[in-house]
Amino acid sequence: MWKNVEHIGIAVRDLSHVNEVYSKLFGEPPYKSEAVELEQVDTSFFKVGNTKIEFLSATGPESAIAKFIEKRGEGIHHIAFEVEDIHNELERLQAEGFQFTRPEVSKGADNKLVCFIHPKSANGVLVELCQEIEN
Ligand code: ZN
């Protein structure tokens, strides 16, 4: 079952500049900053009411964020939905013919298991599925 939009991901060049600008804009600093080595990204998370915004910058040239910015410039990169059982959803959607950027669930930022539906399979939108890791 799909629950809600968990966050919106935005690709940026300079995360420290973004932290400065959006701290002013939202009136609060990011609540979390974290590197995801597998994806070669640094992330910063802001909260506005119940809505989370994730900013991502590349830490290496092979990062999907580096490639995205090279092609399209900075901007909205993905929409993340919280799901109840990410492994079930991955299996169900693969059976439905959806392509994923990786064929398995991995550990993402902000204490989440994640997987991404390739934009080719979702009308140009990179869709993230995520599930909170239970501690
Ligand atoms: Zn995300």
| pLDDT tens by residue, the chain, 135 residues | 999 999 999 999 999 999 999 999 999 999 999 999 989 999 999 999 999 999 999 999 999 999 999 999 999 999 999 999 999 999 999 999 999 999 999 999 999 999 999 999 999 999 999 999 987
Structure tokens at 25: 């804009």
Residues 125 and 135: their CA atoms lie apart, in Å, by 31
pTM: 0.93
Ligand 1 centroid – CA 38 distance (Å): 13
Q: Are 74 and 13 spatial neighbours (Cβ–Cβ below 8 Å)?
A: yes
Ligand 1 centroid – CA 70 distance (Å): 19
What contacts 83, CB < 8 A, 6 or more positions away? 1, 2, 3, 89, 129, 130, 131
Ligand 1 centroid – CA 92 distance (Å): 21
CA distances to 9, 20, 62, 130 from 82, rounded to whole Å, are: 13, 28, 27, 5
Ligand 1 centroid – CA 80 distance (Å): 6
